[in-house]
Amino acid sequence: MTKTATKTTIKTTPTTIAIDGTFASGKGTLAKKLAAYFGYAYLDTGKLYRAVGLRALEAKADFTDGLALAKLAKKVTAKELDNPVLKSGPVGAAASKVAIYAEVRAALYDFQRGFAANPGSPYKGAILDGRDIGTVICPDADVKLYIDASPDVRAERRYKELLSYGEDVSLAKVTADLTERDNRDQNRAEAPLKPAVNAHLLDTTNLSIDAAFLRVKALVETILPHK
């Protein structure tokens, strides 16, 4: 029998975990916990759209002019992602309005893909959460998750969160905003929110954050046993 040399391919690119899901599904909290546990860099990509939304609100921009909004998107820097104002309800709504434009989305591609490709030392990889990470931004991600929960539970969570920021809101208003946001995110032509074909689905309606984390952690350890 002749021996043939076998060539081992070693994957050198950093590991990527893509987490998509609905608004207030718990995906951000899960992503942060996973990143801390596995030693990965974390990017909340919603903040990029929120930063564009905030810039547009401040500039009193025309929300029907995708090209003008894309110009604002091109100016977004990592530094402004720490602005606590980004967390507010009005900025979130503005984010989902600017996010419908292909030009705005394209202006934010490089930032997101660059983060995944170069998470930087000492990180072993990157976790990105958003709406189109597994479908558009990182289609080759090593692990893809899609997180959802019932609209009522998500509205309740978001309501409590906004109260904790000192916002004066009612549960009814939060519920109405959530329905509007779901519709816009799921039905837009550009990168609509949907699970990637090979995404692992998790419904957090009846799960505490710790229970959800343990499930996802176990899943990641199964898929990436050597990480």
Closest approach of Cβ 213 to ligand C5P, in Å? 18
Q: Under the rule (CB under 6 A), what is the footprint of ligand C5P?
A: 23, 45-46, 49-50, 92, 95-96, 99, 130-132, 181, 185
The amino acid at residue 71 is K
Compute the distance between CA of residue 57 and CA of residue 94 in angstroms, rounded to an integer.
7
Closest approach of Cβ 187 to ligand C5P, in Å? 11
Are 134 and 144 in contact by the 8 Å Cβ rule? The answer is yes
Residues with Cβ within 8 Å of 81's Cβ and at least 6 positions away in sequence, in order, are: 44, 47, 48, 51
Closest approach of Cβ 185 to ligand C5P, in Å? 5
- Nearest CA to 46 out of 132, 147, 165 is that of 132
Closest approach of Cβ 191 to ligand C5P, in Å? 7
Closest approach of Cβ 44 to ligand C5P, in Å? 7
Q: How far is the first Cα of the chain from the last one, in angstroms, to the nearest whole number?
A: 36
- Give 82's DSSP letter: G
Q: How far are the Cα atoms of 82, 101, 118, 120, 147 from residue 96, in angstroms, in the given order?
A: 19, 10, 27, 29, 18
Are 202 and 215 in contact by the 8 Å Cβ rule? The answer is yes
